[in-house]
Amino acid sequence: MTKRKGCRDWRWLALWWHHFFLLWSTIDGQTRYSIPEELKQGSVVGNLAKDLGLGLSEIFDRKLHVASDAGKQYFSMDAGKGELVVNDRIDREALCGQSASCVLPLQVVVENPLQSHRIEVEIRDINDNAPSFLTQEINLKIPESVGPGRRFPLENAEDPDCCCCVFNGTAQLSSYWMSL
């Protein structure tokens, strides 16, 4: 009886290791790219064929295509080179608002045999919006007797590129410049 039980334990252990390696290859196999926002159409995100271990002929033969969960197709496949390219300009603020991270999940489907790969493209923010004040003009009355280095408080400025912050001259923005 102990011999039979030992055989059964060995099978369970082999089955457990098999599932472990299947899960590990699924977790370990996710591809992630990172690009700045506002890239022009046709810009290369990465070599998808190489990263998925596919040859250029396999892209044609197996009908590889990219599907987006975002509703809009921001990316497409350049089948001649095996590269994932930008389809349309991506405005991070319009796509993700003020969230700290902006990641677009994509599904890459390869047929014959059917395979599905999940990839992610992180959209990094570039400082394409200047901080702005709510009012266009600020009038300060500065007496002639004031010495150099004197500070005058200004209203808060807002920056659409900065997630969840308002600049008040002391936070992340070190100074304001005034023109006379």
- Give the residue from 125, 137, 121 showing the smallest Cα distance to 163: 125
The domain spans of the chain are: 30-124, 129-144+151-180
Q: What is the pLDDT of residues 90-112, one digit of tens each?
A: 888 888 887 888 999 999 888 88
Residue type at 78?
Answer: D
What lies within 8 Å, CB to CB, of 160 at 6+ separation is 93, 129
Tokens representing 75 are 């990316």
Per-residue burial over 6-21, b if 16 or more Cβ lie within 10 Å, else e, is eeeeeeeeeeeeeeee
Q: Under a CB-based contact definition with an 8 Å cutoff, are residues 72 and 90 in contact?
A: no
Question: CATH 2.60.40.1260: does it fit domain 30-124?
Answer: no
Pick the residue with more confidence: 165 or 58? 58
- Give the residue from 60, 130, 8, 95 showing the smallest Cα distance to 86: 95
Tokens representing 14 are 């082999």
Report pTM.
0.60
pLDDT for 83 = 92
Q: What is the pLDDT of residues 5-38, one digit of tens each?
A: 555 677 777 776 666 655 554 454 578 999 998 8
